Structure 1
C-alpha cells in the first residue's frame, strides 16, 4: 500500500498500545471480506511492526478494502477517532481520484469527423446556447425564440425570479441541440471550481448505458460513475445536499413514471428495479436533499411534468446569430477560414437559418472544412443545401432510439405527407388528432423531427406539434414528391396527390412561398442525394420527377418580348435550382435553350455567386451577360489597393477582387461569350485585373461595357495590359 491513506493508517497503528495492536491483529482473521482472502493466524504471529501488517493487508485484501477493514476494526475497538481520521483521508483521496476521473472523461471528447486519436477540448469548442426557463404548460417554441427568461450554464442552478432553487432541473432539447455538450460544460466547470461549487460531488449517469440494468440501488448508480475506485458511500451519502445527480439521455430509458408511493425506496443502498430507484429519487423519497439535473428530448417531458413537483424546466433553443458566428470561429480555429465559411453560410438563408441547431452548424462546418481543404475556396463548393440537410438527417437517424427499420420508413412516408399538406395550407402547427390520423403517434420517432407545444383552448389545454424548423418541414414536403411508395402501402384518398407539375406551376404563378420546397425538390433528384437518402435514411428516391423538372425549366416563360430577341434568363432563382441539382448534364440540358443572362439590382452573396458561377461554367451557349446595379460580397475582406501598385502585385489584387470568380467562370474552356455589361456595379481598381485577364484569354469577347466604375489610374493600366494581349479581340469598350 502507498499514498496518504497508508500513511494515515500507519500513524494510527503506531499510536496504538501494544495491547490494542495485538487485539487488532487478533480480530483481523475473522473479518468477512469479498473478493480477497484472510491473513492466516500463523502469518500474523510473524508480523510485529505496523508497516509489515499494512503490507500484508494490502496484498491480501487490496488497498481500498484494507482501509475499509481497518476502519471497521477501529470502530469495533471503540477507537472512533482513529476510524474517523482514516475515513476522512479515504473520502479526501476518493474525491481527488474521482475529480481526476471526471477530468479525463469530460474535458475532452471525440467528434464523428475526428481523426484517429484526435480529441477535442470542450473549453475550445463549447459555444453558449440560448437556454430559456419555461413553465410546464409552455414548451415547444421555435428554435431561437427567446421570449422566456434566459439562463446559461452559470445561472442554471441559481434561484429563479421567485427566489427558489429547484431541487430538480429538467433540461429539454431536441436531438442535436447540445444537451450532452452542455452537460460536459457543467462537468468541466465543476472540476475547475467555477460552477456548482456548492456540490462536493457531481455524478453524471448516461441513461443509454442503464437501459439493460435490472435491479440497482442509488449506491450502484453512483459506483458506475467511477468504477475503478471503492466509494466511501456512507460518508458521501451522509451529506446528500452536497450531491448533484445528472442523468443524460433520460428519454432513452422509456420508463413508466407512475408507481404507488409505498413501492418507492427510502434507502439508497436498497436494490430495486431501475424505474423504482429512479422514481424514488425524483419523487424525493430517497436522498431528498440532493439535487438532480435531467437532460431529455421532448418525448419524456409530459410524463416528467406529471411526476415532478417543480413549476419550471429549461429548454435549449439553439444558437443565437452571434453564437453561430462564434461557433464557426471555434470550429475552424483559423480566423480567415472561419470568416470565409461563415460569410458563405450567411449568404444562404436556408443554411444559415438551420444553423440555429448546433449539430447543423457542425454539419455545415464539417462539409465546408473539407471543401476548403480540397479547393482552398468555396465559390466552387460541390455540396448543395439539400445535401447538407441530408447529412444532418443521416446524423439524426444514427442517434435515434432503436426502432425497427421498416417502422421508421413507414413513419417517414407519413411524416412527408403531413409536411406537404402543411406547406400547401400555410400550416406549421398540427393538432394531436392530425398526428394520430396520420399514424405518427410514436413518441420516440416523433420527437426527432417535431416539437410538442401546449396551448390553451377555451377552458381546456391541448397539445400541438410543429417541425423542429420550418426548413425541415419544407425538405420533408419536397421528399413527399420523390419518395418511392413502399410495397404494401394502401392508398388514402385523404393524402395529397404527388403532382410535381401542380407544385411547379403554383410556385411560378402565385405561390412564391414554395421557393425553398421547390429548390430542395431539385436537390433531391441529384444522384448524390439519392445515395445519401438510401444509405443514411433508408428511403428510396425516385428519379422519375427529373423529367418534369427539366421540362418546366426549359419551357417556363423566358425573359423576352419578341421571338427574335435573345432568350435570356432574368432571375437568380434558375441558377439556384440548377446548383441544387449539381449535375452537369441536367444543367446543360436546361441552359441549352438560353443564350443570355441579365440580372438587375441583386446583392450577390457568396452562395449566390457559387450558384451563378456553377451555371455559367456549364453554359457553352452563353453569348451575353448583363449585370446592372449588382453588388458582390467578397470571399476575403477587401483592402484598399495601394497606390502605384507594382505590376507583380496585380495578380494578387485580381485574386482578392470580388469579380474574380465571375470572370473566371465566364472565361471557362469552351466559353462563347461575346458581350459583357457591368453597369453601376461599383467596380474599383481591384476588379480591373480580373477583367484584364478575361480580355486576354477570351477571344470571343468583343463587347465590354463598364458603366459608372471607379477604376482609377492603376485600374486603367491593368485593363490596358489585358487589351494589349494577342488573345484580346475586343471591338467595343464603353
Structure 2
C-alpha cells in the first residue's frame, strides 16, 4: 500500500516519504522492502530494479556521479549499469539515514543537475535526486525522522507522506504479554508500566519497549521491587544504560571512567543544543574524548560509527543522546570551581517549553533531566554510574520555573517536571493545597487550567512513598478536591486518563460522584489501570441517577471487572443510556458474558464496540433486548459469522441503527445481511457497511433488500469497491417509488463518470433522496453539474462531492476545493 495512488484512478506517487520517531522501524521497513523485492514479492508486477542507499554514502571526499554510486553496489558491471539507467522509470531508490547526512541540501534549481553521469558533490547529488531534477521517472522511498520533514519538504515534488506510529496501547500490552507471558509476574510488570504514564508512552517505539521489558525483567530476577528499583521513567534508562558500561569499564580507573563519562555527556549535550546527531573528530576533541573512550562506547553499542565514514560517530539511538545530555547537568565534578555544569536561564526556558510536546527536539532531554533530579532516582544514578550527583541545577529550576509560569508558559509546560517526581512532597504541598481550594471555589474560566496543574501534582505524590500522616493529609486534600462535584453543578463530564489512583482515592472519588447533588452525565475512562475498574468506581452507575454515558477506552477488562459492570447494568437503579467500549483487551469469555447480560437493562439504548477482537461473538449483542443503536466496528467480524448475525437481526424488535463498519464481511457475508433486511421485525433506519470489502457481486442481493424494506432511510456503503456496474444497479433500485432511502453515502466507491447518466436519471425520479455523498470518486466536472441539475430546485436536497482532476500543465498546483452544492 506504500505506492498506491492517493485517489481513485490517480497516478502512482513517484516520491513516498516514510516519517517516524527515531527507532520506530524506518530502517527495518526499508530493509524488509529490499528483501521482499529480492523475493519478487514487492509489487511483483513492476519490473523494478531496487537500490538501498544510506545518504551518507553520497558524502564522500571526492565528487561522484550517480552511475558511480550504483557501480559501488555492483562492482565491475558497467554494461549492466548502462542497461539499468536506460530505463529510469524502473528504478526504485530507497534512501535511508537522512539525518546522518551533514552537508546542507541545495534548494537553488540552477545549482542542481539532471545528468546522472556528471560527478557532483554529495549535497548536490542528493538534492538533485530528491527534487526530481535528476531521474524524474524514478520512484523514491525516503526514510526520515519527523523532525526532518521541514528540511526536505521544499525539495520534494508531490510527495506522498506515510507516518509510522509505532505501537498503540493494545500492541504495547500484547508485547508485554508476549515477553513475560500470562503469569503473575507479567501482570505485575504490565500494571507497573501502565501506571507510569511516561514509561508506557515511550514504549510506543518498539526498541524502547524491548529495552523497558529487558530492564524490568532484570530487576525482577534480582528480587527487586519495581516501584523501588524504578521510581520513575528515567530510572529505567539509568538501570539499562549503566548495565552496558561495566563490561568494558572494568579496564578504567575510577578517575578515567569519570572523565570518559563526562566527555560522553558533554558530547551529547552539545549535540542536543545545536541539533546535531553526527559527530566528527573536532567534536570529540572538544568533548575531551580519546580513542580509548570512543572504542569503549562503540563496544557497548552506546555509540555507532557512521557507515562509509572512518571518524564520524552518532549515538546508537537518539534517546541515548538525550539521556546523556541530561546526565551532563546532574553529575558532580569535584575538580571544578562549581562542581556541576550550570544551566542558564535561556536553556531552562527551552527545556521547559520543549517538554510540552513529544515531537519537540528537547522533549526527552527535559524529561530525563527532571527525572534525574528526583531524590529517589539520585542514589540509583550514583550507584549505577559510580559518580556523585549534584542538585545545584534543581535549585535553579525550582527558582526559574515559577517565573516562567507567571509570564508566558501554560500550566501544562511544567507537567514533565512534576510527573517525573522532581519535587518532594514538601515542595508540592503549597501548590496542591492552593490548587484544591482554587478548583472548588473557581469559576468555569479557570477550571481546565487548574485541573491540568493538579493532574501532574497528584500523580507525582501518588508515586512517592508517604508516611501515615502524610498519606492521611493527601487523602483529605483529595476529598476536598472531589467535593467539587457536589458544589459545582456545571460539571457534567469527567475524564480519567492514565489514572494511577489507589483504592482509597478511588473510593473517595466514587463517593463524591454518588453525592445527591452531583450532576455528572458522562464518565470517560481512558487508559486507566485494569485495577481501576473496581467495585467503587463501577458502583457509580447505580449510585448516580444522572449518569447517562460510560466510555471505557484502551483498558484491559478482566473477568471480575466485567461481572461488576454487568451486575450494575442489570440493576433497575442504573440509568445508563449509552455504553462505549473501544480498543479494550479482554478474553472471549468476557465478551460473551457482556452480550448475554444486555437483556436485563431497559434504559440502555446505545452500545458502541470499536477495535475489540469479538470475532464470532457479534450475534450476542444483536440479542440485547432494548438496544436501538448498535455499533460493532473494526471488531474482526468475518463472512463466517454473518449468517448467525443475520438470524439475530431478524429477531430484533427495537433496533433503528446498525453499523458493522470496518469488518471484512465481504460479499458472501453481506448477502446474509441483505436477506435479513427483507424480513425485519425492527424499524431499522440506518445501516452502515463502510469499508466491509464489498464489490459488485453483492449488489443484486442489496437491490432486492432495498425494494422490500420499508423502514431504511440511511445507507452508508463508502470505501467499498462497487465501481460503475455496482452503482448503476443501485441507481436502478433507487428509482423504485417504494424505496425509502433518504441518505446515501458512496464515498470512495471507485466509480467514474461512466455511471452518471444512470445516477442523474435516478435523481430525477426519486422523491425521497435528499443527501448524496460522492466524495473521492473520479467524476468529471460536467458530470457533477448534470447531477446537481437533476435535483428538483423546490426541495431541500444536497450533493457532497470532491473533484480532483489532473493538474493543467500551465498551473501544476491547480486543485478544485471540495464543496457542497445545495
TM-score by length of structure 1 reads: 0.40
Larger radius of gyration: 1
Instruction: Between the two structures, name the one with larger relative contact order (CA 8 Å, sep ≥ 6).
Output: 1
